[in-house]
Amino acid sequence: MNRFAAIIAVIALGASAPASATTLARLSHEQVVDASDAIVEGTVSRVWSTMDEGGKVWTRAYVTVDRSLKGQHAVGETVMVEAAGGTSPAGSVTYVGLTPRYAEGERVLLYLSLKRHGTVYGTVGMLMGKYTIKQNPADGSDMVVRFTVPADVAYDARFVPNPPAGERISLASMEVKVAERLKAGWDGEPIPGVSREHLMEINNLQPGVK
């Protein structure tokens, strides 16, 4: 088995990592849209890792916005995204299952949740809120792919595997789904980890929602 096949076999979409376990409530696409403070398409310009006072590693990325689907980010603006886990410059590794990975030059579709200080974002539902944008080999159009690897495995977005032909999702269809949900508004149903007040603040509301 070659290295790339081994990576896929071990970690593709839902792989468990050998350290900290992660359990997430599965959210529908509509819930991910509702929970997002911002939704952007962009290009990763820088990726680095840092260690906090507790010895845990965090990975951060700068993303240059190419298009804003929700929120007020302008084209060309840079946003910082943070994800739990990674390998520090000194070689310490923090494993977190289902955490998104980033690579310089990677095109991404991100569903962002504001974390602190009004400047740092995480992705909604960790891996649920991050897609790689890549070319569909069938017709050259843009499609979105969700994929991650463990913290101690080098991540290169060029080698993100293509889904089977019948399971590919076009970027254009995702943009339509986002626009439709934003227009329809939040339905009033609770979303784990997001307060009702905040959901009302960042979304249009469906009729009858108070």
Q: Residues 86-104: pLDDT tens digits?
A: 999 999 999 999 999 999 9
pLDDT at 197 over 90: yes
Residues pairing with 42 in the sheet:
65, 108
Position 116 confidence tier, pLDDT thresholds 50, 70, 90: low
pLDDT at 2 over 70: no
- Amino acid found at 201: E
Averaged pLDDT, 132-143:
98
**How far apart, in Å, are the Cα atoms of 181 and each of 117, 199, 201?**
28, 13, 15
Position 119 confidence tier, pLDDT thresholds 50, 70, 90: confident
Averaged pLDDT, 137-145:
97
CATH architecture of 3-20+36-168: Beta Barrel (2.40)
Q: Quote the CA–CA distance of 165 and 182 in Å, as a whole number.
A: 29
pLDDT at 17 over 80: no
What pLDDT, in 10s, does the model give residues 164-194?
999 999 999 999 999 999 999 999 999 999 9
What predicted TM-score, i.e. pTM, was given to this entire model? 0.89
Averaged pLDDT, 131-148:
97
Output the pLDDT for position 72: 92
Question: For 35, which DSSP code?
Answer: H
